[in-house]
Structure 1
Amino acid sequence: MATWTSDELTKIGNADELELASLRSDGTLRKPVIMWVVRHGDDLYVRSMHGRSGAWFRGTLTRREGHIQAGGVDKDVTFADADRDLDDQIDAVYRTKYRRYSDGVVGGVVNPGARAATIKLVPRS
C-alpha cells in the first residue's frame, strides 16, 4: 500500500481546504467539493458535515477512489473507513486547526453524524 511522503503530509495537513472528487461507476470524476482536511500522525482525514447522507460522501462509496488537491499536491486516493477509536483524537485536531471559527461552525464536523462519515485518505500509486 502506498504511503504519504513527509512533504505531502505537511502540505496537505497545513492547507485550510481540500478539493475532493470521487470516481463515478463509469470511472469519470465527479465535480470536486471543497472541505476541511486534518492530519493525525501520518494520516489525513476528511468528514462530511451532513454525515453519511451527504451527497459527496455517498459518492465516495461508489468506487472508493478519487482525486484530491490541497496545498499544491494533486493525488489520486482511495477512500478508507477511519478507525472509530480515533474519533476523539480527530475531533481534537479539527478543533485545534480550525479554532479561528466559531464553535457552531466547527461543531459541523465534530458531532456524531460527522464522526460516522470520517474518511481516511490513502494515496494510490
Structure 2
Amino acid sequence: MTHWNDADLEKIGTSGELDLRSNRADGTLRAPVTMWVVRVGDRLYVRSVKGTDGPWYQGTRSRHEGLVEAGGVRRQVAFRDADPEEYADVDAAYRTKYGRYTGIVEHVLTEGARTATLGLEPR
C-alpha cells in the first residue's frame, strides 16, 4: 500500500469537496462526481449517501481505481473497502468537518452509507 504524502493529505483532507472519477472496465474514466471527503489520521475516506446501490459507488466496483481532485491535488487512487471497525472514526470525522450542515450530514452517517465507505489510497 502506498501512503499519502503530508502535503497532499493536508490539502485533500481540509478541502470542502472532492471530485471522484472511477475507471470503467476498459480503463477510461467516468464523469466526475463531487462529494465530501474526510481525513482520519493518515487516511482519506468517502461515502455514498445512497449506500452500495449508489451509481458512483457501483462505478468503483469494476476496477477499484480512479482519479480524485481536491485542494489543488490530482491523484490516481485505489478504492479500498473500509473495515467496519473504521466506521466510528469516519463517522466522527464527518460530524467534526461537516456538522455545521445540520440535517445533511446525517445522510452520510446511516448504516447504508457506512457500508459504502471507501478508503482512498494513492497509486
TM-score computed with the length of structure 2 as normaliser? 0.98
Q: Which runs of 5+ in 2 are unaligned?
A: none
Q: Which runs of 5+ in 1 are unaligned?
A: none
Q: Secondary structure at the match of 2:108?
A: coil
Question: Partner amino acid for 1:25?
Answer: A
Partner residue of 2:117? 118
Q: Does 1:46 align with 2:46?
A: yes
Residues in 2 aligned to 1:65 and 1:86: alpha-carbon distance in whole angstroms: 21
Superposed structure 1 runs of 4+ greater than 2 Å apart: none
Partner residue of 1:55? 55
Partner residue of 2:29? 29
**1:100 CA drift (Å):** 1.4
Superposed, 1:1-125 pairs within 5 Å as 1-102=1-102, 104-124=103-123
The count of aligned residue pairs is 123
Q: Deviations over 1:41-69 (max 9, x none)?
A: 00000000000000000000010000000
Question: Partner amino acid for 2:22?
Answer: S
TM-score computed with the length of structure 1 as normaliser? 0.97
Q: Deviations over 1:52-95 (max 9, x none)?
A: 00000000001000000000000000000112101111101100
Residues in 1 aligned to 2:94 and 2:112: alpha-carbon distance in whole angstroms: 15
CA RMSD of aligned residues (A): 0.6
Identity fraction in percent: 54
Residues in 1 aligned to 2:48 and 2:76: alpha-carbon distance in whole angstroms: 19
Residues in 1 aligned to 2:76 and 2:65: alpha-carbon distance in whole angstroms: 8
Question: Partner amino acid for 1:5?
Answer: N
Residues in 1 aligned to 2:120 and 2:89: alpha-carbon distance in whole angstroms: 16
Q: Secondary structure at the match of 2:113?
A: helix
Question: Partner amino acid for 1:112?
Answer: E
Question: Partner amino acid for 2:76?
Answer: D
